[in-house]
Amino acid sequence: MTVEADRLAAEYFDTGTLSGLPADHFIDGRWCPPVHGRTMETFDPGLGRAYHQFAAGDADDIAAAVDSAVRAGRDWARTRPAGRGNILARAAALLREEAPRLAVIESLDSGKPLAEAEGDVAGAARTFEYYAAAANTLQGDSFPLGHDYLGYSIIEPVGLTAHIIPWNYPLSTAARGIAPALAAGCTVIAKPAEQTPMTALLLAELLHRAGLPAGVCNVVTGTGGQAGAPLVRHPAVRHVSFTGSVQTGINVMQEAAANVTRVLLELGGKSPVVVLADADLDAAVEGILGAIFENAGQICSAGSRLVIDRRIHGEVVSRLVERAESLTIGHGLRRPQFGPLNSVEHLSRVAAHVEGARARGLSILTGGRPTMDPQTGKGWFFEPTIIDAAPADDPVVQQEIFGPVLVVQPFDTEEEALALANGTDYGLVAGVYTRDFSAAHRLARDIDAGQVFINEYFAGGIEVPFGGNKMSGFGREKGLAALDAYSRVKSVAARIGG
Ligand code: NAI
Ligand code: MG
């Protein structure tokens, strides 16, 4: 893995690009140039430079993908679930075989450290393995109508599904939507983020090689406005899975409403990590660091608020500051501990949040400024940042920053901890660190979030349903629950006489 990845990284640093990158849409089982011939650039955030051109699609490319998916949909929905599962299992094996190249491309396109991208590819393979098996679990019920009747349900695929994918986890988010959709017998059109289009395209081509019939999974690239919006509002689309910002999620839901199309919205969060005084502080410090500095904080489920007992606040915060300052910063392909932000626009958004905090007189314990790769003097980096004792109504507590910015909120009682934990409009995930079994499960019960991690932030995997409450959205991805998004129940009730 390392040898092949390092060879590809060297190729990139020597040539300024990689050979064999996709440049077209993937529609109907083949590479399709954009109907209107327009292209756009994708960037390497670690050096702050464009490295490749790809198709800038629009409504006409979406129309071609819809035609292809609609043609393929009937046969795909009739394939035996075990047959669908076999294709997904072959895709998982190909993902593992091709992991080094996929990880290098993911790291280059998004900026994230290569080790994290390797984890994402392994996670995507796991996702396909999991839904390969889950394809066999889709079964209906029989209803107790009595001797003279027969009542039963059939689980049907919903049909053509659209997947709008963000730039922070391009391959993982594509996999976690596409795998259960295919398992359920749906067809797919995915629209990756314009900042990170590469790995979704490669995934579609890989699925085709794994035996997926042409047209069942299509990928159209381009901007949200030009390619995403026409996809979401296309009347042939029966379900939209969207991951991204609250405002775009609201727009997507409004567009989908015009056709009464189902939506699943995953809109990020402002997730608390609650640390009680009796917690294992070594585990808590590790957990908090990963929760906010992994992928430079560009994680919907980042633990961006540390809600901490005042008695241990000083010790934990000083350990966090020391560790934050020791993280190695660098280009993702040089295997740093901490990489750049995904785009220059996003870097200025994060910087503006922290400038606001500084102007309001908040205490910035470490970081707080844009920075660069010390080796090259380039790239879109922001320092690992910790802001102490922020008032509960401050914008840095209330708003998703989506960067490496931890906001600390001390408390005196468990009741206060709960109020702080629940004190934003978001409700995606939460972490709890304590050795007190009952306190841990009281908080898990009372925190308004879709998922609670106890004593290990990000515990679990594809098996655990994931999604938000409140402004974080609705619907659940991952786990068997994800199949609900792509399935519908048909009930049959018959009088059969006696
Ligand atoms: P965005 O929500 O606009 O983009 C996400 C995806 O939606 C991209 O694929 C984009 O092309 C697409 N899109 C945009 N407008 C669309 C439309 N009208 N119809 C259909 N698709 C559309 O987010 P953006 O601008 O990339 O980032 C802004 C903020 O959103 C970030 O600062 C962060 O706070 C948040 N965000 C949250 C994510 C999460 O994981 N929940 C992921 C990405 C961003
Ligand atoms: Mg890019």
Both 83 and 224 in one domain: the answer is yes
The conformation of residue 129, written as its DSSP 8-state character, comes to H
Tokens in use for 193?
């983020």
- Report the nearest atom of ligand 1 relative to the CA of 251: 18
Q: Does residue 387 lie in a domain region?
A: yes
Both 342 and 449 in one domain: the answer is yes
Q: Domain residues for 329?
A: 272-461
Both 302 and 182 in one domain: the answer is no
How confident is the model over 437-485, as pLDDT tens digits?
999 999 999 999 999 999 999 999 999 999 999 999 999 999 999 999 9
**pLDDT at position 59 over 80:** yes
* Distance of CA 165 from the midpoint of ligand 1 (Å): 8
* Residue 498, pLDDT score: 77
* Residue 76, pLDDT score: 98
Both 218 and 316 in one domain: the answer is no
* Residue 2, pLDDT score: 84
Both 245 and 326 in one domain: the answer is no
Percent of the chain with pLDDT over 90: 99
Q: Does residue 469 lie in a domain region?
A: no
How confident is the model over 295-350, as pLDDT tens digits?
999 999 999 999 999 999 999 999 999 999 999 999 999 999 999 999 999 999 99
CATH number for 89? 3.40.605.10
Q: Return the SS3 of 418.
A: helix
How confident is the model over 369-415, as pLDDT tens digits?
999 999 999 999 999 999 999 999 999 999 999 999 999 999 999 99
* Distance of CA 266 from the midpoint of ligand 2 (Å): 22
**pLDDT at position 182 over 70:** yes
Nearest-CA residue for atom 19 of ligand 1: 229
The ligand minimizing its distance to the Cα of 190 is 1
Q: Does residue 89 lie in a domain region?
A: yes
Whether 266 is catalytic is: yes
Q: Does residue 179 lie in a domain region?
A: yes
Containing H/E element for 237? strand 237-243
Tokens in use for 1?
């893995």
Both 249 and 297 in one domain: the answer is no
Nearest-CA residue for atom 8 of ligand 1: 193
Nearest-CA residue for atom 11 of ligand 1: 224
Q: Does residue 467 lie in a domain region?
A: no
* Residue 43, pLDDT score: 98
Q: pLDDT band at 362, cuts 50/70/90?
A: very high
Overall domain count for the chain: 2
Q: Does residue 466 lie in a domain region?
A: no
Q: Report every protein residue that has its C-beta within 5 angstroms of ion ligand 2.
A: 42-43, 109, 195
How confident is the model over 265-281, as pLDDT tens digits?
999 999 999 999 999 99
- Report the nearest atom of ligand 1 relative to the CA of 255: 19
Q: pLDDT band at 93, cuts 50/70/90?
A: very high
Average pLDDT along the chain: 98
Both 408 and 295 in one domain: the answer is yes
Quickly tell me which residue has 């629940």 as its tokens: 422
**pLDDT at position 216 over 80:** yes
- 388 CB contacts (<8 Å, ≥6 apart)? 317, 362, 363, 364, 365, 408
* Distance of CA 166 from the midpoint of ligand 1 (Å): 6
Q: pLDDT band at 1, cuts 50/70/90?
A: low
Angle at alpha carbon of residue 23, lines to 18 and 24, rounded to 5°: 155
Q: Does residue 497 lie in a domain region?
A: no
397, 387 in Cβ contact below 8 A? Answer: no
Helix-strand-coil split of the chain, %, nearest 5: 45, 25, 35
Both 202 and 279 in one domain: the answer is no
CB of 276 closer than 6 angstroms to any ligand 1 atom:
no
- Active-site entry in 116, 118, 266, 477: 266
- Report the nearest atom of ligand 1 relative to the CA of 268: 41
**pLDDT at position 65 over 90:** yes
Q: Does residue 431 lie in a domain region?
A: yes
CB of 165 closer than 6 angstroms to any ligand 1 atom:
yes
Both 292 and 330 in one domain: the answer is yes
Nearest-CA residue for atom 13 of ligand 1: 224
How confident is the model over 17-55, as pLDDT tens digits?
999 999 999 999 999 999 999 999 999 999 999 999 999
Q: Return the SS3 of 244.
A: coil
* Distance of CA 67 from the midpoint of ligand 1 (Å): 26
Query: What is the C-alpha separation between 318 and 397, in angstroms, rounded?
Result: 20
Q: Give mean pLDDT, residues 93-102.
A: 98
Whether 186 is catalytic is: no
CB of 228 closer than 6 angstroms to any ligand 1 atom:
yes
Both 123 and 196 in one domain: the answer is yes
- Report the nearest atom of ligand 1 relative to the CA of 191: 9
CATH number for 356? 3.40.309.10
The DSSP secondary structure of 221-232, one letter per residue, reads -S-IIIIIHHHH
Both 245 and 314 in one domain: the answer is no
Both 337 and 262 in one domain: the answer is no
Nearest-CA residue for atom 41 of ligand 1: 268
